[in-house]
Amino acid sequence: MEPIKVSVRGHVIKYFPGEQERFEFVSEGPISILDMLKALSVDPLLIMMVNVNGVKQPKTAMLQPGDDVLLFSPPAGG
C-alpha cells in the first residue's frame, strides 16, 4: 500500500509524533483527514488549513494512498 505523504507547516509541528516536518502515514485504505489526525493523536483543531495534492480541502475530506497532504498551523495573529 502506497503511503500518504504528510507535511506539517508552522509551529504545531511540535505536537506531531517525532516533531517531524515531513513523514509518511500508512493506511490500509481510504481515510479521512480527521481520522488520520486522530490516529496521530493530534487534535484536528490544531490544524488551520489542509491542502491535498495542491487543492484546499476540508478536514472531512477522504485521503487515498499516495496523496500529498499539507497541514498548516494557525498563524499568531497580530
User: How do beta strands 55-57 and 62-63 pair?
Assistant: unpaired
Helix residue spans in 4-78 (DSSP H)? 33-39
- Minimum Å gap between C-beta 26 and other proteins is 22
Considering the rule CB under 8 A, would residue 78 count as an interface residue with other proteins?
A: yes
Considering the rule CB under 8 A, would residue 46 count as an interface residue with other proteins?
A: yes
* Buried b or exposed e, range 26-46, using 16+ CB within 10 angstroms: ebeeebebbbbbeeeebebee
Considering the rule CB under 8 A, would residue 23 count as an interface residue with other proteins?
A: no
Q: Which of 11, 20, 38, 68 binds other proteins (CB under 8 A)?
A: 11
Considering the rule CB under 8 A, would residue 57 count as an interface residue with other proteins?
A: no
